[in-house]
Structure 1
């Protein structure tokens, strides 16, 4: 793998795009083959039944969650190790405010198609796809979130994509949790990529919960696109899998000023005889200006225009994800992964 040394992070030496090799089954190979042959047809039938029929029926949230837990249970994902910062084991019910609730946002690491499936089974959230050079996101379905774990990364959204900022998405769905994968692509779980600037549009009063999901064995990650057979073999041929979930305490977007309350604004405008006229100018223009800037900067590089507060906010979330996953941050992003995939495909075709 020395020919891929250019895709190792210079500071840490981590290669976040290399697939993790599968351990040899040895004498247990017949058992693995038996499990694979039994589970794959059942998993395909159950998944098709859910995405084509069940999710469209009026079965409610608990019905959808039960269907997703069935999908997770077939390949043997039984053991869930959950830890929340600042909460002792067994006391999560007494500290419900330290766990995502309606109106909050989850920023999760992204390494496997299991990530969105597990989060959907727990929270029934809305998924938003992020991109590295825009503050806008694209609302996607659970199936699309799973499928994109197998596809090539994208630097820009499709020309016909319906884009919106996270603040608007939160306001439109106050009773739902929103899940964002800010790394914009999958990794092998051994590093945290630079985060999307879309997180900068989160309202300052919205709770942001960094999530880290890691797997034992770790070979169910999909850093290489279209690795369907390899993923299915690693997932269905082993007796069981463990998901280790770590949740950080809520973080707030300190890069945006907290807006004045409606009451204060009303008072300032209504007292026309005692209020300086020039103090009220620009209150509406400021909002429209920010919105215009946000839309016009959809395809531009946001890195150079970030303020110190914005960089510090993104760094805080990235550090939380790295700490939770016990990994390091890397300087490689979506562009480097695209170059890596091109070299990987070329090297495989020469064999």
Structure 2
């Protein structure tokens, strides 16, 4: 992969946009294994597809077409999202909120995200939004790579993770106060994918928005900020390179007969006295995830050139 060396971070050597070796359909079952193993994998992939595709389509239509627009009950929406993830192959869960394991109930209540709070998370795949929906049922914010705020529904956030980063919003970006008012009215938290595009999870990109507007008066008095890490095992479910289509990605996921695990770790709310909240959140994500941050030359905007080079190199 030396041809893509210009998209490696100069300080760490990490290439955040390179897909994992097993993240293509062909590699999932057909590469560098003995013939009997490859044939067995193919058979299992076919069986998995036959079983999963009808179930995934049926539950997807039920979840997005009926449950989300009609049923306001969070427990129902949460169970439906988890069931859909299970059908897609995410079988193992490890969700933790730092501080919520303490025995004092008042401390537990104060440690958990509440309506209007902001969760700043890394960004890996279309399943991220579905995972957070199963945990918190939030509003999603994904900025453009030029730093404009964009609000997404669950389905919109999923589709955004299947596409290239957006350069500019087609409408006037809403102020954070309006987003928070909407979150409070609907009793939701806000999940903020501030990298602006999915990566392979090996590092954290520079934030597309590097400071909360009116930060000194906003954080603490009006909302809290929670850093959060999402991680998959194995990591080949990530989409640093956009797939050919949503259908292609769905087929790649359901054709895999082995399961994925997901880990979500939400850190305690930041104490940002005299500090930049966004930078502090990114530092904390790196700490809890044991990952590095890459330089400004590897922002979401640089991914556009990388994808062009990647497609040219494979054509």
Instruction: Describe the shift of the 1:91–1:4 C-alpha distance in structure 2 as closer, same or farther (beyond 3 A).
Output: farther
**Given the alignment of the two structures, is residue 211 of structure 1 paired with residue 228 of structure 2, yes or no?**
yes
Q: How does 1:167-316 map to 2 (within 5 A)?
A: 167-174=177-184, 175-197=187-209, 199-201=211-213, 203-205=218-220, 206-227=223-244, 228=246, 229-230=248-249, 232-252=251-271, 254=273, 312-316=276-280
Deviation, 1:59, is 5.0
Instruction: Describe the shift of the 1:89–1:117 C-alpha distance in structure 2 as closer, same or farther (beyond 3 A).
Output: farther
CA contact (8 A) 2:272 2:280 kept: no
RMSD across aligned positions (CA): 2.4
State the alpha-carbon separation in 2 of the partners of residues 56 and 315 from structure 1.
Answer: 35
Q: In the alignment, what sits opposite 1:46?
A: 59
Structure with max Cα Rg: 1
CA contact (8 A) 2:232 2:262 kept: yes
Where does structure 2 lack aligned partners over 5 or more consecutive residues?
none
CA contact (8 A) 1:112 1:149 kept: yes
CA contact (8 A) 1:81 1:245 kept: yes
Classify the secondary structure of the residue corresponding to 1:223: coil
Q: How does 1:58-207 map to 2 (within 5 A)?
A: 58-88=71-101, 95-134=108-147, 136-158=148-170, 161-174=171-184, 175-197=187-209, 199-201=211-213, 203-205=218-220, 206-207=223-224
Instruction: Describe the shift of the 1:82–1:62 C-alpha distance in structure 2 as closer, same or farther (beyond 3 A).
Output: closer
TM-score of the aligned structures, taking structure 1 as reference length: 0.76
State the alpha-carbon separation in 1 of the partners of residues 75 and 14 from structure 2.
Answer: 40
Displaced runs of 4+ in structure 1, greater than 6 A? Answer: 89-94
Classify the secondary structure of the residue corresponding to 2:212: helix
Deviation, 1:96, is 3.1
Where does structure 1 lack aligned partners over 5 or more consecutive residues?
256-308
State the alpha-carbon separation in 2 of the partners of residues 92 and 212 from structure 1.
Answer: 24
State the alpha-carbon separation in 1 of the partners of residues 243 and 294 from structure 2.
Answer: 24
Deviation, 1:3, is 0.3
Instruction: Describe the shift of the 1:132–1:253 C-alpha distance in structure 2 as closer, same or farther (beyond 3 A).
Output: farther
Deviation, 1:104, is 0.8
CA contact (8 A) 2:225 2:277 kept: no
State the alpha-carbon separation in 2 of the partners of residues 18 and 117 from structure 1.
Answer: 23
CA contact (8 A) 2:102 2:108 kept: no
CA contact (8 A) 1:247 1:324 kept: no
- Decide which of 343, 348, 351 is 2:309's aligned counterpart: 343
Q: Which moved further from structure 2: 45-54 or 20-29?
A: 20-29
TM-score of the aligned structures, taking structure 2 as reference length: 0.84
State the alpha-carbon separation in 1 of the partners of residues 233 and 157 from structure 2.
Answer: 22
Q: Which moved further from structure 2: 66-75 or 52-61?
A: 52-61
- Please list the CA deviations of residues 211-260 of structure 1 after superposition, one character each: whole Å capped at 9, or x if unmatched: 111101100001111344256324541332110112211015546xxxxx
Instruction: Describe the shift of the 1:24–1:220 C-alpha distance in structure 2 as closer, same or farther (beyond 3 A).
Output: closer
